[in-house]
Structure 1
Amino acid sequence: MTPNVCSAASRTHDHGVTWQRACRAARVSCSLIIFKEDDIVLETSLGSVSFMSVSSYAPDQGEGGLTMAGSSLDLGRIQKQGGQDLAPSTVKVRLYTGRIKRGPGGGKRVLLKAYPTGSRSEADAMAANELAAHASLQPPTVAQEPQHVSLLLGGFSPTAGPTAGEQWLVFRNNGATTAGQWAQETAKYASKSGFLSVFDRGKEERQQAFVKEILRQTMKGLAYLHSRSRLHQSLGPSSVVLNTTNNSGARPLIARLQDLAFSVDVSDAALYGGATLADIWEKGTVEAKDPLKQLAANLWRRADQEGARTQMERRNFGIADDVYAAGLLLAYMTFVPFCELGSIDAPSLQRLLESTFRLDVKAARDYCEADERWLNAVAFLDNDGGAGWDLLGAMLRPEWRQRPTAESCLNHPFLKEDPS
């Protein structure tokens, strides 16, 4: 029987603090497994991922636009974007594939994220926040498992050895290839085989349909988060994981959102509520900073600078910020797989849209059309009367109040599903 994480955490001593804090933050009864370190066999290292967040923001003065906090758009190469200074985080999370060898779910393939050790550290807060976010989005908090959000099974914290004190989160393995990795590999394959030639338009059309389906399912996942009063706040090519990279249709594609370490709770209770009695007892003062809320501090600072002052405006600003990030993802997924290899990357594309053309998508389109290396991407967005450009322009509108919701994006002609 799967133990309840809230009650089980009390038996994990010092290393259960992340689980306890996450449960209080989520304010839900969640059934997650408290694994032991030797319950799981590590199989493959997937490398590590680091984060950057917006540390300050200056309104657009002709050289920049908005950038989302905790972005995943290859931010290791970006030092400054428009009017925003990006501060590198000290947190580097290691990723692994593995298998549960005993206990609940024995034999199940899993993905693992290892947050570095440090009591009350940023990493500790991020791990707790990611756990709390998933707990609020999956059963038993909701009736059905969300189709387009990765499923958290539980976690553990080693008590000995070089990894002692680290926080490990364990996810069901429904695929480890991200949308960004697929896009880059597709571009490499295209450069070798020339599959986007006029002699094989069918393959190009299948690739375009595959990209649309990735984007469509990503927006479904984002719409689900927003319906549950959750922001993603770190949406990018690496935060969408695919169960297949085969576009033949032999295996139906399912894209899922992951990387919820920067997720923000925008429920009424979170926006209007204060510290709980348990929080006050633990911190020893009513003025102590909540490390989970500190992760959202940059978002609310930017919201204030953009005129979002009431709780409703702050929530809507956060939703619009996620949609903006999804717009950058749309640009990435429609350019990188279809352009000449090495001719465009995420930072360059973002600078082109934000700094060079100040989010004037029509002007950006005309510029891109003049570069023969990008013609396939331009043609893709030109389809159906320029539907792709129209949606991109709507999602990247400088005025955040004018951006569509994730649900509205799904009804746009570029992403709307064919009823047949």
Structure 2
Amino acid sequence: MHSTRLPDAAQARGAAKPAGLRRQGRACRSLRSPSASLYEFSSSDIELGQNLGTSRILDVVSARPSTLQQAPLATDISSLEQLSSSQRLSQSQQSGVEARLFTGRVVEGDLAGMPIILKAYSNRAVGDADMLAANELATHDTLQTWRGGSPCFCQLLGGFVAQAGASAGEQWLVFRDDGSRTAAAYAARAGDATARDGVVGPDSFMAAARLGNQGRLQRRQAFVRKMMYQIMEGLAFMHSRQRLHQSLGPASVLLNTRGEADIDQLQIRLWDLAFSVDVSDEALFGGATLGDIWDRGSITTNDPRQELASGLWRRAKQAGAFGERSRRNYGFADDVFAAGLLLAFLAFVPFCQPGSIDGPSLQRLLTVTFAADMEAAQLYCEADDRWSKAVAFLDRGSETGWHLLAAMLNPEWQLRPTAESCLNHPFLQMALGASADNVQI
């Protein structure tokens, strides 16, 4: 494949350099920084590979987003199209900000040879683009440098601001390429495989020949449950660092493996943190010390990225969450609600007849038609033969899957479990130790 050099990464006139970036040295050196482990790349450091498409960033206006968008993906290894807009918002407006996505590799410096994914924020609406890019960078920086980070997130290597050509002024973020297949793409492939009693993956024919029908279903159940557990691990880690995701959906989860035979190596990574919200004491209360307050001249934070949370705080107020700590707890519960919708998506789409259910329809069924009454929803789903394998999946362990969904989608936000407590739920605990050895061949 022909590779293309990136535009000059020197600072564009008037464009702010993202805080915390270090210049990538030509000599091999370790990344040492008390606040970040990030590089500022230059144009000679990187070659572009495949164009993965363009995604449109959406602004939340008021209503809770429908996080169950099923992205149309054409290849077995999904493109990253729509990752930055992983939610179809029930009330939304286009922000005017686009992100172009590319594969590539580092060709110079101490990271030479590393495969990467690049995310370029369009400069057509510089203010919004800069804010979203800065927020995504700052969130990854915070997560990567706290307690050694977590394997459940894409690894941000750094970024730059382009100076020359049509890309001048654009913010580029550089991620390590640990896989580009989304949970949305996997679910679609798995649904097709369920319909034909097949297996997802490059060795699907041979694997299907080795496994009986029951073995194939058990492998898929184990694979999906391990995905679910790791998603909640990532969300729990974010919350422990006082960060909200706020864009959680099947297109914001990446997989590092191409097929179900690689369950032992499966590692999901959360992505799409442009709308992440900082709910730390410093962000909510305006500073950790009197010195901070004197320096700012105000008891409230002046960080413009807090504007991204305006829709969340409006919903919190409507739900009766007043005061900073109450708003924070509402934010945690809001993320858990989105995670519940994502778990429902993964419980149904990979096991149902293709075309019989999609994300938005499933959300309406569970949260509107049955208002999170999972007993009634279960009876309804049991009556549809096309969904029998999904029902059986949620029925495992004395119907624990239904119980977990009921808790996470509880209309009373104060009664929803924390992400950490979800990990201890019996339904997700069954994921521990999931491996290919647990499937009879």
TM-score, length of structure 1 as denominator length: 0.84
Aligned pairs, how many?
Answer: 390
Q: 1:119: Cα distance to partner? A: 6.4
2:171 equivalent in structure 1: 167
* Contact kept? 2:69, 2:88, Cα under 8 Å: no
Residue 145 of structure 2 is aligned to residue 149 of structure 1 = no
CA distance in 2, matches of 1:311, 1:287: 12
**Counterpart code for 1:359:** A
CA distance in 2, matches of 1:30, 1:235: 24
CA distance in 1, matches of 2:52, 2:116: 12
Q: 1:369: Cα distance to partner? A: 1.4
Q: Secondary structure at the match of 2:62?
A: strand
Segment drifting more, 249-258 vs 396-405: 249-258
CA distance in 1, matches of 2:249, 2:283: 25
Which deviations, in whole Å up to 9, do the C-alpha atoms of 1:93-151 show, x marking residues without a partner? 12111100111301001111111115652121110000000111113xx2413111111
Spell out the pairing of 1:101-116 with structure 2 (5 A cutoff). Answer: 101-116=107-122
2:311 equivalent in structure 1: 298
Q: 2:227 aligns with which of 196, 203, 214?
A: 214
Q: 1:74: Cα distance to partner? A: 4.6
Q: Secondary structure at the match of 1:49?
A: strand
Change (3 A) 1:101 1:403: same
Spell out the pairing of 1:127-142 with structure 2 (5 A cutoff). Answer: 127-139=133-145, 142=146
Structure 1 stretches lacking a partner, 5+ long = 1-8, 58-65
CA distance in 2, matches of 1:411, 1:250: 21
CA distance in 2, matches of 1:165, 1:270: 28
Which deviations, in whole Å up to 9, do the C-alpha atoms of 1:63-85 show, x marking residues without a partner? xxx547xx47359899874xxx2
Q: 1:48: Cα distance to partner? A: 2.4
Q: Secondary structure at the match of 1:175?
A: coil
Change (3 A) 1:417 1:404: same
2:5 equivalent in structure 1: none
Change (3 A) 1:186 1:44: same
Q: 2:106 aligns with which of 100, 107, 114?
A: 100
Q: Secondary structure at the match of 1:14?
A: coil
Q: 1:278: Cα distance to partner? A: 11
Percent of residue pairs identical: 48
CA distance in 2, matches of 1:193, 1:205: 12
Q: 1:339 aligns with which of 349, 352, 370?
A: 352
Q: 2:69 aligns with which of 68, 73, 76?
A: 73
Q: Structure 1: which 4+ aligned runs deviate by more than 4 Å?
A: 74-81, 192-199, 274-281, 285-290, 417-420
Spell out the pairing of 1:250-399 with structure 2 (5 A cutoff). Answer: 251-273=264-286, 290-399=303-412
Q: 1:167: Cα distance to partner? A: 0.8
CA distance in 2, matches of 1:279, 1:22: 24
**Counterpart code for 1:186:** A
Structure 2 stretches lacking a partner, 5+ long = 1-8, 23-33, 72-84, 201-207, 434-441
TM-score, length of structure 2 as denominator length: 0.80
RMSD: 3.2
* Contact kept? 1:116, 1:167, Cα under 8 Å: yes
CA distance in 2, matches of 1:260, 1:191: 34
Segment drifting more, 106-115 vs 85-94: 85-94
